[in-house]
A = this chain, B = another copy of it.
Amino acid sequence: MLTAQEIEQIIWAGLPAAKESGLRIERASPDGRVRARFVYGPQMIRPGGTLSGPTMMALADAAMFAAIMARLGRLEMAVTTNLNINFLRRPAPEDLVADASILKLGKRLAVLEVSIFSSSDLTQSDAEPVAHVTGTYSLPPS
């Protein structure tokens, strides 16, 4: 099984921009539960002092990719086929944390769910997400 650190290294190796942009994989369990983080940076800002939608979409996509590798091992050729995001609240200008899990793992498709939080909200027991994502990955024939 791959550790969070190993998954982070695989993603950074494939996407050097991910490391520079502050992507971290904090936790990964063999059942496909992953916690990813975007360390806050000014490039995430959009007008109004909140964080941009593409920043949250990029974090969700990386978290789903990490969740598949946490469950199945190295699988760089898995590709996103669909991503649906609902933006729920204006995130504060701080780190974003994404919790991903696998809703369905089939032979050809994996469907995942991601909740994105402002990191300071996670100290609360009932943190409300700033965005919610579902996505589908196409898995390479094994």
Partner-B contacts on A (CB < 8 A): 14-15, 17, 43, 45-48, 52-54, 57-58, 61, 76-77, 79-90, 103-104, 108-109, 111, 113, 128-129, 132, 134, 136, 138
Q: How far is the CA of A80 from the CA of B46 in the complex (A)?
A: 12
In the complex, which residues of chain B have a beta carbon less than 8 angstroms from the beta carbon of A76?
A: 47-48
The residue in A57, A80, A81, A103 that gathers the most chain B C-beta atoms within 10 A of its C-beta is: A81
In the complex, which residues of chain B have a beta carbon less than 8 angstroms from the beta carbon of A57?
A: 53-54, 57-58, 61, 83
In the complex, which residues of chain B have a beta carbon less than 8 angstroms from the beta carbon of A81?
A: 86-87, 109, 136
Min distance, Cβ A106 to any Cβ of chain B, angstroms: 8
In the complex, which residues of chain B have a beta carbon less than 8 angstroms from the beta carbon of A138?
A: 108-109
Min distance, Cβ A127 to any Cβ of chain B, angstroms: 12
A86, B111: Cβ atoms closer than 8 Å: yes
B82, A104: Cβ atoms closer than 8 Å: no
In the complex, which residues of chain B have a beta carbon less than 8 angstroms from the beta carbon of A103?
A: 86, 88, 129, 132
